[in-house]
Amino acid sequence: MRPRHRYRQERWLHTRISENLEDALKREARRRRLPVSLLVRNVLEGALDLVEDLVETSLGVARRSQDIARAASQAGLDEIYGWQELILNRGAACARCEVELDAGARAYRGLSDRAGSPLFLCPACVRRLGPPAADREEKAP
Ligand SMILES: [Zn+2]
């Protein structure tokens, strides 16, 4: 359980509520044998904890899955000995810049000694790998 900091410095909170809400709160307080103020505080605490938990959980999941995807694609990229040009028959994402590659698009499939799902690079990322070594030598003086 998370430590509860909120009680440490207590403040008054005045708020306008409808008659219906007041009746409902009073009824619920009677039912739970609690002062109305404590019931309100419990309800607010519960609502905030719920929101915090939801936000923390979804942020955590998103961050973790991004990290995992990044780590996986980086590990995968290191294993690749070559890139083979092809036309995609179904959509994929570039393993480096994560751009969406549609079916019919030119892409480069990473050839790896390791089995696993294929990695693709977009043409821009392949160009960023630089020209083949032979071309560079020819241009050198
Ligand atoms: Zn790319």
Tens-place pLDDT, residues 90-133: 999 998 899 999 999 999 999 988 777 889 999 999 998 876 65
CA of 136 to the centre of ligand 1 (A): 23
Distance CA 28, CA 23 (A): 9
16 token code pair: 């306008």
Residue 59 within any structural domain of the chain: yes
CA of 124 to the centre of ligand 1 (A): 6
Residue 6 within any structural domain of the chain: no
* 33-90: pLDDT as tens digits: 888 888 888 888 877 777 777 777 777 777 776 776 666 666 677 788 899 999 999 9
Distance CA 92, CA 107 (A): 9
| Residue 120 three-state SS | strand
What is this structure's pTM? 0.44
CA of 105 to the centre of ligand 1 (A): 12
* 9-32: pLDDT as tens digits: 778 878 888 888 888 889 988 988
CA of 68 to the centre of ligand 1 (A): 18
Number of structural domains the chain divides into:
2
Backbone angles phi, psi at 77, to 5 degrees: -60, -35
CA of 126 to the centre of ligand 1 (A): 7
Last residue of a domain, one of 36, 67, 98: 67
**Facing residues of 87 across strands?**
106
What distance lies between CA 114 and its chain's CA centroid?
27
Residue 13 within any structural domain of the chain: no
CA of 97 to the centre of ligand 1 (A): 4
